[in-house]
Amino acid sequence: MNYSEGRHAIFLDRDGVINRAEVREGKPYPPNSLAAMEILPGVSEALKELRKAGFLLIGVTNQPDVARGTQKKEVVESINAALLSKLELDEIFVCYHDSADKCACRKPKPGLIMSAATKYKINVSRSYMVGDRWRDVEAGKAAGCATIWLNQDYNEKAPVDPDFIAGTLLESVPWILSRIRRNHD
């Protein structure tokens, strides 16, 4: 669904983009409790700048540990509620499935992005997906968004051809803002 004049959004992965991921053996994992959740430096400032530029700010996160039985859904929901209360986020869309479930919402599939686009009448071609993993970039591409990869040097495959590479969300803001200025001139 492409709303030609629709709103524009920044879709954000949660762990590793908004809050600190726990890295074990080079792989990122979500915090295991609300007490362990830490908002990354610069995220609040980045979101405020993006909100001021008129973007909807929507989290899109895979949380397969719920399906795997290693995380409780209530913990994921409490972390999301804390992020929503502390940051300028409109909503956080969650996929609780594991890969074997073959759902449409688990990134790298674009289901979470497309659900948000439908709900908020978002023009995905005027929107951005920011993530720290290849799955995030692939989901953004599949949805038709510009993609930003926050390279954290994880021990896993890198995404193919993201539109922009940064180390933090805040580092990506000038690039996003320069693109919207260019598109409006």
- Residues annotated as catalytic (active site), given as ranges: 13, 15
Sequence-distant (6+) residues with CB within 8 A of 10 are 50, 55, 56, 57, 58, 127, 128, 130, 176
Nearest alpha carbon to residue 13 among 77, 85, 106 = 106
Q: What is the dihedral of CA 112, 118, 124, 129, to 10 degrees?
A: -20
Distance CA 72, CA 183 (A): 43
